[in-house]
Chain A
Amino acid sequence: MSTRSGLLDRHIAFLEALRAAGLPVSISEDLDAVAVLQALDWADRASLKEGYAATLVKRHQWRPTFDALFDLYFPRMIGEGAGGRLDPAAEGVEGEAGEPGDGGDDQEAPVGARDNGAALAEFRERLEQALLDGDQEALDALAVEMVGRFGAMPGRGPGLSSWSAYTAIQRVAPGELVEQIVQGLMADGRTEEEADRLAGRRIGGFTRQVEADARRRIGEEKGPDHVAQAALRPTIDRLDFLSMRRSDLEEMRREIQPLARRLATRLTQQHHAHRRGPLDFRRTVRASVSTGGVPLTTHHKPKRPHRSELVVLCDVSGSVANFAQFTLLLVFALRDQFTKVRAFTFIDHVHEVTHHFKPGADVVDVMTELAASTAHAALWGRTNYGRALTTFAERHSDAIGPRTALLVLGDARSNYSDLAVDTLAELADQCRHAWWLNPEHQRHWDTGDSAASRYGEAMPMVECRNLTQLTEFVHQVL
C-alpha cells in the first residue's frame, strides 16, 4: 500500500503545481483524473498523459504548461535515461541508465571528456543533421545529451551540482546553425522564406526541449516542486509584450486572428442578445391568426446597434513596438465593429497608417509595411510624446469628434521632454471615450522618465501587458 500512497502524493503535488501555474483545476476534475488513472494501463505513459490532459486541461493554450509539468512530475526517464547514454568509448561505463540519485555524483570526473572542442564540433554536426532532417527522435536524444554534456554545473559538494540550459545553449549555440540549415532546406526545394521560418521553428523547438530536459534534471535533484515554482514560462496569453522572443512573436501573431474572431463573435452575440426591442404589435397579431387569435409568440422590433468611430494613436518606438503591433492588429481585425477606424503611429512625429489596413489584407504584408512606415514616424529619432501629441492636435484634429473613441498606446516614457499633458486633456475632452493602454507593469509606472500618472490624469490609463489583459480591455470597452 505504501507505493499507492506515494502515487497519490505525486498526483496531488502535480495538481498543486498545475494550479500554481494558473490552470484552474477543480475538485471534480481532480476526481475525474483519479478515475482516469484507474481506467488506464499504468505502463503506457503516452496514453496516461493524454488521459490526464483530457480531464485537467480544458484550454488548448494551457497544454504546453501541462506538458512541461507532466514531464517534471512523471519523467520519461531518470538521469541520462535510456537514450542519452554517452558513447562508451569516450566514457567508460559510468552512469548506467536508470539509477536515480547517482546523477549528481558521477559528474565531476568526466567533465573534461564530455565537454571539449572536439566533442562540441562533433555534437554540433549531429545536431545540424537532425535539425535539417526534422528528426524528432534524434532531437529528443540530442537535447538530453546536450544538457548532460554541456549544461552540467558541477557543485562544490554532493547535491550542489546543477544543470543549466542557458550554459548548454551558450556553449552549443544552436542559433548559429540557422544559416547552414536554411541552406540545406533550400537545397531540398524549399523557398528562402519558408526555409528561414522552418529553421527558426525547429531551433526554437529544440531550445525548448533543452530547457525542458534541464528542468527535468533539476527536478530530479531538488524535487519537482522547486522547479515548478522557479523555471516555468507563462503561457503565451500571459506572456508580457515587452519580454517576448522571436519565436514567441510568431506564435503570438497566430493567436491574433482567432482571438479577434472570438471577440467579434462574442460582441455580435451580445448585441443580438440585447437586441430585443419594443413589441411589434402588427407582426404579433398577424402571427396569432394560425393559433386562433391566441398570441403564443411575440415579435419584437429590432434595435439599431450603435457604433462608434475609433482613433488609435500608437507609440512605435523600439521599446514598445511589439505591443503596438499586436494592439493595432487586433484593433483592425475588429474594425467591423466600428463605423470608422483611423490609426496613427508616432515616435516624435505623427504619421497616419490607416491606408495599410485594407479590408482582407494579408497580415504579413501589413506588418512589413507597418514596420517600413515606422521610419516616417520619427523625424528626430527619440520618443517625444509632447511633440507627437501637439503635431497630432494640429494636423489631425479632424479625426476627433463627439462620437470618437480615442485609444493611445504607449509606455508614457518621453525621455524627460515636454509632455503636453494639456493637449492630451483637450483631445480627451473632445472624444466620447479615451483610454491609454500602457504595456508596463503598474509598479514601474512613474519610475525614471515615465509620466504615467500625469497622463493618467488627462485620460484613464489601463495596464495592458499581455494578450489576456488586452482581450479583457477590448471586451469591456466595445
Chain B
Amino acid sequence: MGQDGSVTWFSSPSDAAERLTATGYLADTATATTTFLAGALEKPLLLEGPAGVGKTELAKAVARSTGAELVRLQCYEGLDEARALYEWNYKKQLLRIQASQGQTWDETHDDIFTDEFLLTRPLLTAIRREQPTVLLIDEVDKTDVEVEGLLLEVLSDFQVTIPEMGTIAAVRRPYVVLTSNATRELSEAVKRRCLYLHLEYPDADRERDIVLSQVPDLEEGVATQLVTLVGRLRELELKKAPSIAESIDWARTLLALEIKDLDDAAVTATLGVVLKHVTDTERAVKELRLARA
C-alpha cells in the first residue's frame, strides 16, 4: 500500500527520456522535461497538438514505463457527471427499497447510499485506486464546457465530493494526462491548473527512429525516403497533414507490398495510406510532380 503519497514517477528529465524510450516512445527534450515535471510537481499535464502526433501514446508510455495502471476517460460531446465521475445505481436501489418492505424509512434511506450502490466511473476510480495510476482524460476538447467545471475539483485537489457520502480524497495522486486537439479553446481555469505541452510533428531524424522502432523490419534507406517525403507533404497546405501514425501505417504498407525503393510510381500507388482527402492527393501529385496513377 502506497500510503505515503509521495511517489516519484521519474527522477529527472533524462530518466524520463530513457524510460520512455525503453517502452518504445522516443521523446524529445520538451516532452521528456514536461513528463518529468508533471510527475515531480504532481500537476496534470495538458497535451495539445494535431491529431496523430502521439498524445495518447505518451500517456500509455508513462503507464508502461512506471508499471502504473492506465485509467482512461474518453471524452465526447454530451459527456456528463454520471459518465465521468460516479452514478447511483438507481435500479438496484429501487430493488433494495422494494425488497425491504418491513424496514423503516430511515434504515432504508441510509442503506441505499452506500458503496454497494455506487457505480464508479473513470475519474472516481482513478482517485480511489491505491496502486500507481495514470489517468488519461482523452480529447477533453470534445466535451461541453460544463464538464470542465467538473474536472476542476479533480485536477486541483484530487478529490471528489459526493453529497450523500462526503468527500473522497485521493489516497495516492494519479498521474493525470489530458489530451486535446484544440478544436475548442479550453477554459483558463483548466489551463491554469495544468502543465502545458504542445506536441508537434517530430524532425526527420526522430521520426525515422520512431518509424524504425515501430516497424523494425523496414530497411533504413526506405525509412529515410519515407520520412523525407512525409516532411515534404506536411509543408504543403493540406487539409489533413500526415501524422506519425500515418507514417507508420505507410511503413507497414511498404513492408507488406515489399517495396524496396520509394520511387514516384510507388508513392502514387500508396499515397492513399497517408492522405485522406481527394483534394490533398491531387495537390500532392501536382506539387511533387508525381506521375498520375
Contact = CB atoms under 8 A, between A and B. Distances in A.
A29 B94 contact: no
Contacts of A197: 235
B191 A58 contact: yes
Interface in A252-267: 253-254, 257-258, 261-262, 265-266
Contacts of B220: none
Nearest to B283: A362
Contact of B283 (A44, A291, A364): A364
Interface residues of B, number: 49
A141 interface: no
Top 10 A-B pairs, shortest CB-CB distance: A58-B191, A47-B33, A50-B33, A54-B195, A50-B30, A60-B198, A362-B279, A265-B183, A54-B34, A39-B40
Residue of B37, B49, B235, B282 with most chain A CB atoms under a 10 A cut-off: B37
Interface in B25-49: 29-30, 32-34, 36-37, 40-41, 43, 46, 48-49
A51 B12 CA distance: 12
Interface string A11-41: 0000000000000101011001001100111
A475 to B, nearest CB: 11
B279 A273 contact: no
Interface string A234-261: 0000000000000000000110011001
Contacts of A272: 77-78
If over half of A's interface residues share one DSSP class (helix, strand or loop), that class is named, otherwise mixed; here it is helix
A329 to B, nearest CB: 11
Interface string B172-201: 000000000011110010011111111000
A273 B91 contact: no
B41 A32 contact: yes
A41 B15 CA distance: 13
A49 B137 CA distance: 26
A397 interface: no
A192 to B, nearest CB: 9
Given A51-B37, A191-B288, A360-B277, A28 B183 contact: no
Nearest to A360: B279
B90 interface: yes
B144 A32 contact: no
Contacts of B194: 58
A198 interface: yes
19 contacts: A28-B193, A36-B41, A40-B13, A40-B37, A41-B12, A44-B13, A50-B34, A51-B33, A54-B37, A54-B197, A59-B191, A60-B48, A191-B287, A257-B239, A266-B184, A272-B78, A292-B94, A362-B282, A362-B283
B207 to A, nearest CB: 15
A51 B45 CA distance: 12
B289 interface: yes
B206 interface: no
B177 to A, nearest CB: 13
A269 B144 contact: yes
Nearest to A264: B183
A291 B90 contact: yes
A28 B33 contact: no
B257 interface: no
B276 interface: no
Contact of A262 (B30, B32, B183, B232): B183
Contacts of A253: 237
A54 B235 contact: no
A26 B289 contact: no
B211 to A, nearest CB: 20
B228 to A, nearest CB: 10
Nearest to B45: A54
B34 A51 contact: yes
B1 interface: no
Given A54-B37, A58-B188, 14 more contacts: A24-B188, A28-B193, A32-B195, A47-B32, A47-B33, A51-B33, A51-B37, A55-B196, A58-B46, A58-B194, A59-B185, A60-B48, A193-B287, A290-B91
